[in-house]
Amino acid sequence: MAGSLNKVLLIGRLGADPEIKQMVNGKSVARLSLATSQSWKDKNTGEKKEKTEWHRIVVFNEGLVNVVQQYLKKGAQIYVEGQLSTRKWKDEQSGQDKYSTEIIIQGYNSSLTMLGGGTSGSSIQNDKSSNAPKSIEEIPQSSNDLDDDIPF
């Protein structure tokens, strides 16, 4: 369909340490649980209210999975750009079809950036002097990447 866009932008905090799994093809995948919140003051009572949404993030970029594994912990604040995807699977116990909606980080149209400000002592991004990469763009490229001699 021409003229369509599937892009998700989120800033939130990790609700748990990342889960790293090996796929059948031997590559790693990272699964993150990201909380985004909005708060407001109730007009009638003056009471502060808050609503939290939970998002499933799946990272397929091999280099980024390594950064997630090394540097992200529960409470870390991150910015993600990805694509919304719903997958269907069968519950083994009930035999019923189940659906899961996830934000996929894969390819050139996706990114994950560590923002810092995690819970105290929870991760390396709290240290402003850290040499930890802050985004995928700061990760050294592996030797199997595209040829660097291309002039554009």
Strand partners, 86: 101
What kind of fold does domain 8-133 have according to CATH? OB fold (Dihydrolipoamide Acetyltransferase, E2P) (2.40.50)
What's the CA angle centered on 22, arms 111 and 84, to 5 degrees?
35
pLDDT tens digits, 16-29: 999 999 999 999 99
Q: Which of 59, 60, 76 lies closest to 134, judged by CA? A: 76
pLDDT tier, 89 (very low <50, low <70, confident <90, very high otherwise): confident
| Global pTM exceeds 0.85 | no
Query: Around 95, how many Cα atoms within 13 Å sit in the side-chain half-sphere?
Result: 0
Residue 109, pLDDT above cutoff 80: yes
Question: Which of 38-42, 98-102, 141-145 bottoms out in mean pLDDT, i.e. has the lowest?
Answer: 141-145
Query: To the nearest whole percent, how much of the chain has pLDDT over 70?
Result: 76
Domain range summary for the chain, segments of one domain joined by +:
8-133
